[in-house]
């Protein structure tokens, strides 16, 4: 069996598993070793291993602390970066109070946008990969089921055919455009949601390019997880009204994308 020290971040154990899967016996110390993750020398006691071996997936040997360091207090989890699971370097704290290494946070922003990797709170202006298109709307005197005291708003999204960019699944390949229609009640809350939907559209968050859930075809302009009512009637199962929870639901969808 391979014996080694194990930090709470599990970084060492992962390295050892890559070298000798199934042979790692982990020990949790009552302190955090005062050094960063590097390589580790470990002892293999299985009969077919006859000498010390070094984990070659890691780079520098651990220095086992002297006995006087064993009384050091356990390092708080607040001192660890949730991304790299190591001690914070150039600590950056977001408005949600989660902290990260500056380099780790920058890498996360490049991958997922300005969103906290832990709680998904948005801390900047997010921009999606929606292709070029147009959003228009008109007001109508016809009412929607559940909102008989007001008229309605009909939104039309129009996207022509185009070519995918490096942000899309198949750069350089064509995508199929679309025209979509959605409906809102023409009351105070409906007007509020309309403004939020326009903001989301301007930030290229409403649509994306991918595989259609209805047709199964690739390279299509599709919805991007912001709820829309595409029918006036039929209830939630038909993406229509009445649906007393819709306006609050779409605002939650928008907030998750930093639109509020």
On the question of pLDDT at 11 being above 50, the answer is no
Give dist(CA 51, CA 111) in Å, integer: 43
Q: What fold is seen in the domain 134-256?
A: Enolase-like; domain 1 (3.30.390)
- pLDDT tens-digit readout, 140-151: 999 999 998 899
Question: What's the whole-number mean pLDDT along residues 32-61?
Answer: 39
Give dist(CA 65, CA 32) in Å, integer: 10
Question: What's the whole-number mean pLDDT along residues 78-103?
Answer: 87
Give dist(CA 44, CA 52) in Å, integer: 6
Question: What's the whole-number mean pLDDT along residues 82-111?
Answer: 87
- pLDDT tens-digit readout, 28-46: 333 333 434 443 433 343 4
Question: What's the whole-number mean pLDDT along residues 3-8?
Answer: 40
172 vs 25: which has the higher pLDDT: 172
Q: What is the domain partition of the chain in residue ranges? A: 1-75, 76-124, 134-256
Q: At a CB cut-off of 8 Å and minimum separation 6, what does 34 contact?
A: 65, 69, 72
Q: What are the phi and psi torsion angles at 257 (to 5°)?
A: -105, 10
Q: Which of 54-58, 138-142, 203-207 has the lowest mean pLDDT?
A: 54-58
| Structural domain 76-124, CATH architecture | 2-Layer Sandwich (3.30)
DSSP class per residue in 106-146: HHHHHHH-SB-TTT--B-S-----PPS-EEEEEEESPPBTT
Burial category of 207 from C-beta neighbours within 10 Å (exposed 0-12, middle 13-18, buried 19 and up):
buried
On the question of pLDDT at 243 being above 60, the answer is yes
Q: What is the pLDDT of residue 74?
A: 54
């Amino acid at each position: 069996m391979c014996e080694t020290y194990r930090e709470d971040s599990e970084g060492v154990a992962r390295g050892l598993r890559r070298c000798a899967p199934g042979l790692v016996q982990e020990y949790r110390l009552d302190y955090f070793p005062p050094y960063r993750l590097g390589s580790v020398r470990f002892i293999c006691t299985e009969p077919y291993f006859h000498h010390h071996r070094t984990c070659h997936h890691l780079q520098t040997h651990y220095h086992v602390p002297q006995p006087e360091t064993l009384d050091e207090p356990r390092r708080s989890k607040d001192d660890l970066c949730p991304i790299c699971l190591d001690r914070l370097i150039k600590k950056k704290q977001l408005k949600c109070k989660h902290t990260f290494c500056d380099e780790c946070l920058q890498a996360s922003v490049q991958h997922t946008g300005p969103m906290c990797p832990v709680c998904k709170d948005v801390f900047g202006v997010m921009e999606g990969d929606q292709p070029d298109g147009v959003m228009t709307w008109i007001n109508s005197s016809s009412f929607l089921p559940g909102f008989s005291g007001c008229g309605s708003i009909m939104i039309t999204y129009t996207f022509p055919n185009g070519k995918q960019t490096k942000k899309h699944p198949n750069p350089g390949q064509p995508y199929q455009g679309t025209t979509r229609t959605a409906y809102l009640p023409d009351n105070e809350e409906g007007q509020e949601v309309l403004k939020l939907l326009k903001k989301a559209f301007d930030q290229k968050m409403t649509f994306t390019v991918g595989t259609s859930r209805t047709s199964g075809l690739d390279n299509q302009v599709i919805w991007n997880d912001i709820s829309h009512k595409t029918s006036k009637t039929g209830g939630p199962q038909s993406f229509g009204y009445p649906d007393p929870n819709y306006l609050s639901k779409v605002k939650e969808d928008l907030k998750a994308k930093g639109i509020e």
